[in-house]
Amino acid sequence: MHGAQPPIKVLVCDDERHIVRLIQVNLERQGHVVITAFDGKEALEKIRHDKPDLCILDVMMPHMDGFEVLKNIRQDPETENLPVIMLTANAQDKTVFEGYHYGADMYLTKPFNPMELVTMLRR
């Protein structure tokens, strides 16, 4: 039998508050610590301040989209290795390719099953 997974600190950033809340509730049920942000600028501030273990970013957000946040993460030596899961309602190859080009680790397409995300975190 496997032991319990240690809790991780996850930043969830999406401008759709109900999506953030859905992810937050499901991750907290698994014992993880969840930090929330609702636009790209706020996400970068919280990444620098709270130092999460993982970041979940929506692609389309106000002030700074998820790709810009991802580029900033990868250009900063303190955060360049931070795992990033991108959320998108647009699963077109171009969007997914662009995310991987900038360094996304995984993609999750909206709508999604919250347990799919929980399973991703176990990997």
Q: What is the pLDDT of residue 78?
A: 96
Q: Is 104 left (phi over 0), alpha (psi -120 to 50) or beta?
A: beta
CA distances (Å), origin 122, targets 25, 100, 115? 16, 21, 11
pLDDT over 90 at 3, yes or no: no
In a domain, residue 41? The reply is yes
Residue-number span of the structural domain to which 32 is assigned = 9-117
Query: Edge-to-edge strands of the sheet including 54-58?
Result: 33-37, 9-13, 54-58, 84-88, 106-109
Confidence bin at 72 (pLDDT 50/70/90): very high
Structure tokens at 69: 């946040």
Q: Is residue 122 part of a domain?
A: no
Per-residue pLDDT tens digits for 27-51: 999 999 999 999 999 999 999 999 9
CB 41 within 8 A of CB 64: yes
Task: Tell me whether residue 1 is in a domain.
Answer: no
| Residue 1 predicted with pLDDT over 70 | no
Instruction: Give me the number of domains the chain comprises.
Output: 1
Whether the predicted pLDDT of 92 surpasses 80: no
Share of the chain above pLDDT 70, in %: 93
User: Is 65 domain-assigned?
Assistant: yes
Please check whether residue 4 lies inside any domain of the structure. Answer: no
pTM for this one?
0.90
Q: Enumerate helices (H) and strands (E) in the chain, giving the number of each.
A: 5, 5
Determine, yes or no, domain membership for 2. no
**CATH number reported for the structural domain that contains residue 110 in this entry:** 3.40.50.2300
pLDDT of 34: 98
Mean predicted lDDT score pLDDT of the chain: 90
In a domain? residue 123? no
56 within domain boundaries: yes
- Residue 111 preceded by cis peptide, ω within 30: yes
